[in-house]
Structure 1
Amino acid sequence: MTSLILILAAVLGFSPGFPIEDDRPSASVSQWRWPLSPRPTVERVFVLGPHPWSPGHRGVDLAGARGQPVVAPAEGTVSFAGVVAGMPVVSIDHGDGLVSSFEPVRTRVHRGQAVLGGAVLGELVGFGPGSHCLPVVCLHWGTRREGVYIDPLELVGAEPGPAVLLPHRPLPWFRAGTGSFW
């Protein structure tokens, strides 16, 4: 409806009489920062398979150091601070359907706490055997928009990871190995 009014207003040459900006808060790239400082090396990029159950890497791994402060990439409210499958995790609800999660982080914050961008969430924990970044200590940063994983590097204005080719099913009308159709 708003779009129709704006188009009509533009054609007739008058102001619609109400703000034309979207009143929902948005996650501007300029509002986001890296959760580690200085800007870390990306050890493993975001890879999303074609289905929610497909293999992939639903976040990025950032090189860090044991005990390094982990900061909120943008303001929000702590939605989880605890342990999941033996791993210390902290999640922040940034509003507008955006949630970011970090692991392994020994938290200094608690559920329901409001945090500003740059606020210290806790310290990066280094794990022994079984850590997927060994021999490097790393922070896993995952982000979801409306429950769908997105590449968090896009929020800090970094180039996304390299394109990854995924396998596909052969078309039913192509006879594999013959080079012919039908």
Structure 2
Amino acid sequence: MSSGITFSHWLRPIICLFLALSLAACSGSASRNNTPISGSTYTVQRGDTLYRIALRSGSSVGTLARLNGISPPYTIQVGQRLRLNGSSTSKTVTPKASTSATTTARNSSMSQPEKLAPASWPAPGSKCWRWPTQGKVIDGWSSKDGGNKGIDIAGTRGQPVYAAAAGRVVYAGDQLRGYGNLILIKHDENYITAYGHNQSMLVTNGQQVKAGQKIATMGSTGTNTVKLHFQIRYKATALDPLRYLPAQGKSPSC
């Protein structure tokens, strides 16, 4: 991701959330140990992710990454020794303090951006959206924890993928495991869209794109089915795209 891109206060948490979700989703044999971590250092165990370590230590992904000089996609290795705070002295954390710290980490803007209830979502038609591609929706949006935060659209390999609205590309890469070749487009100070599992990406970081511009081709990177994973996010909250997209084959009416 280009270091020259300036992020808004909510855009960085969104990308960190993508990182956290992709790391957690791809740890098939990951450890389920949620025991709080105390002390100033920690040795990475099999199945650990930086996100899980942050929750268990009462820290945030951003803090751990900064202390240990780790860059996105925040890859860590078994046996790697991580600094958990700025001090070199170990300290004992009581169970009560650990619980409080873990709660703070869960609410941290770097690990879990605030979510808006559906009643607070923007009204349909408040922004014009185009379908990013044509095809059958094979997996819809879900409000459940760990559920699909967008829609999956089936199609054929190489099928065009279009920008759902005009904006600027803030991420185009394959470092977020679970999404394959992923493109994130920032549309204004409130909206960002995501396009995952592309076969090829036709845009680069920082590039301005027009509504309906071809930005990628459909593929199966990061998954075993040819499809497009599409998300609309409003102030870090994943909205149900079907609530805002026009009927397939029709232009936006707004």
- TM-score normalised by structure 2 residue count: 0.45
Shift of 1:48: 1.4
Identity %: 31
Deviation readout 1:46-102 (Å, 9 max, x if unpaired): 0012xxxx2211110001110111000110100100012171100100114111101
Which of 106, 120, 126 does residue 214 from structure 2 map onto? 120
- Between the two proteins, the alignment pairs up a number of residues equal to 123
Contact 1:29 1:154 in 2 (8 A): no
Question: How many Å separate the matches in 2 of 1:41 and 1:142?
Answer: 16
Q: 1:107 to 1:29 in 2, by over 3 A?
A: farther
Contact 2:124 2:243 in 1 (8 A): no
Shift of 1:28: 4.0
Q: CA RMSD in A?
A: 2.4
3-state SS of paired residue (1:31): coil
Question: How many Å separate the matches in 1 of 2:211 and 2:132?
Answer: 9
Contact 2:131 2:246 in 1 (8 A): no
> Are residue 48 (structure 1) and residue 139 (structure 2) matched?
no
Question: How many Å separate the matches in 2 of 1:89 and 1:71?
Answer: 13
Contact 2:168 2:185 in 1 (8 A): yes
Contact 1:30 1:156 in 2 (8 A): no
- Which protein has the bigger helix share? 2
> Are residue 85 (structure 1) and residue 183 (structure 2) matched?
no
Deviation readout 1:99-130 (Å, 9 max, x if unpaired): 110111221101111101110111111359x5
Shift of 1:149: 0.7
3-state SS of paired residue (1:156): coil
Contact 2:202 2:215 in 1 (8 A): yes
Q: Taking CA–CA contacts closer than 8 Å with sequence separation of 6 or more, which of the two structures ends up with the larger relative contact order?
A: 1
Contact 1:58 1:149 in 2 (8 A): yes
| Aligned AA (1:47) | S
Question: How many Å separate the matches in 1 of 2:210 and 2:165?
Answer: 6
**Greater CA drift, 148-157 or 54-63:** 148-157
Contact 1:65 1:126 in 2 (8 A): no
Unaligned runs of 5+ in 1: 1-25, 160-182
Question: How many Å separate the matches in 2 of 1:138 and 1:30?
Answer: 25
Unaligned runs of 5+ in 2: 1-122, 249-254
> Are residue 147 (structure 1) and residue 236 (structure 2) matched?
yes
Q: 1:59 to 1:77 in 2, by over 3 A?
A: same
3-state SS of paired residue (1:32): coil
Which of 197, 201, 210 does residue 107 from structure 1 map onto? 201
> Are residue 94 (structure 1) and residue 191 (structure 2) matched?
no
- TM-score normalised by structure 1 residue count: 0.61
Q: 1:72 to 1:29 in 2, by over 3 A?
A: farther
- Which protein has the bigger strand share? 1
Q: 1:67 to 1:92 in 2, by over 3 A?
A: same
Question: How many Å separate the matches in 1 of 2:124 and 2:163?
Answer: 14
3-state SS of paired residue (2:242): helix
Q: How does 1:60-79 map to 2 (within 5 A)?
A: 60-79=151-170
> Are residue 35 (structure 1) and residue 129 (structure 2) matched?
no
Shift of 1:157: 3.1
Which of structures 1 and 2 has the bigger CA Rg? 1
